[in-house]
């Protein structure tokens, strides 16, 4: 069977939580639950690093505004991770060229990342923190469930991932106003911090009499 459905699903999941994808694939491969996982993802050092970074994301992803900063940093990391995982899966299976698999995994990860980041911006336009925690938990559980399902039913999981990606893009359009509000608030906060930093420097300057000195 072609590895394309699994590559697509892993790309979608990588755009939401790339470290969870690497960790899940590595654990499933190392424990012998599947032979679809390349050995490079099963290495102990890879699993340790992925586990530590997953814990960091699990914390950062549940704090308002910190989650959006984390998403901004991962705008490159998640698509690259999706591309690398896709290429490794293709190399393990041999039914799809690695370059094509990397393109599918990377582009899918980029789209799902935009959905995740945009949704978080919309949620952060509300002052309460509980929605961040609930949304983060739902994303973590969703990634774990879909990736586990994909290893045993790749085509069905790919259909689920495609539907979720399409729904996310549609929801993103409806949340555009909230996203704009979040960006405006963030810009205002940056301007307030800039002014707050500038005021002590202005106060520390010596007063000027406005005219030339006479001796």
For the chain (215 residues), the mean pLDDT of every run of 10, in chain order, is 90 96 95 89 95 95 88 94 95 85 95 92 76 90 95 95 95 81 71 66 58 49
Sign of CA dihedral 153, 155, 156, 162: positive
At 198 the pLDDT is 65
The percent of the chain in helix, strand and coil, each rounded to the nearest 5, is 80, 0, 20
Closest CA to 70 of 89, 86, 54: 54
Task: Please enumerate in sequence order all residues whose Cβ is within 8 A of that of 170, keeping only pairs 6 or more positions apart, or say none.
Answer: none
Instruction: Please provide the distance, in angstroms rounded to a whole number, between the alpha carbons at the two ends of the chain.
Output: 93
Contact 109, 38 (CB under 8 A): no
CB 148 within 8 A of CB 10: no
Q: How far apart are CA 9 and CA 112, in angstroms?
A: 11
Token pair for 25: 């694939």
Do residues 13 and 141 make contact, with C-beta atoms less than 8 angstroms apart? no
pLDDT score for 36: 84
């Amino acid at each position: 069977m072609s590895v394309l459905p699994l590559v697509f699903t892993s790309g979608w999941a990588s755009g939401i939580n790339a470290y969870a994808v690497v960790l899940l694939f590595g654990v499933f491969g190392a424990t012998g639950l599947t032979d679809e996982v390349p050995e490079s993802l099963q290495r102990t050092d890879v699993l340790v690093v992925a586990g530590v970074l997953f814990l960091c994301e699990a914390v950062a992803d549940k704090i308002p505004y910190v989650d959006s900063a984390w998403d901004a940093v991962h705008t490159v990391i998640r698509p690259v991770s999706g591309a690398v995982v896709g290429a490794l899966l293709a190399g393990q299976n041999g039914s799809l060229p690695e370059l094509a698999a990397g393109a599918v995994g990377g582009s899918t990860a980029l789209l799902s990342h935009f959905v995740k980041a945009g949704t978080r911006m919309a949620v952060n336009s509300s002052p309460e923190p509980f929605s961040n925690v609930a949304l983060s938990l739902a994303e973590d559980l969703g990634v774990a469930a879909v990736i586990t399902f994909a290893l045993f039913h790749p085509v069905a999981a790919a259909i689920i991932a495609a539907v979720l990606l399409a729904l996310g893009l549609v929801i993103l359009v409806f949340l555009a106003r909230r996203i704009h509000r979040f960006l405006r608030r963030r810009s205002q906060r940056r301007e307030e911090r800039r002014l707050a930093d500038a005021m002590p420097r202005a106060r520390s300057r010596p007063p000027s009499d406005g005219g030339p000195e006479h001796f």
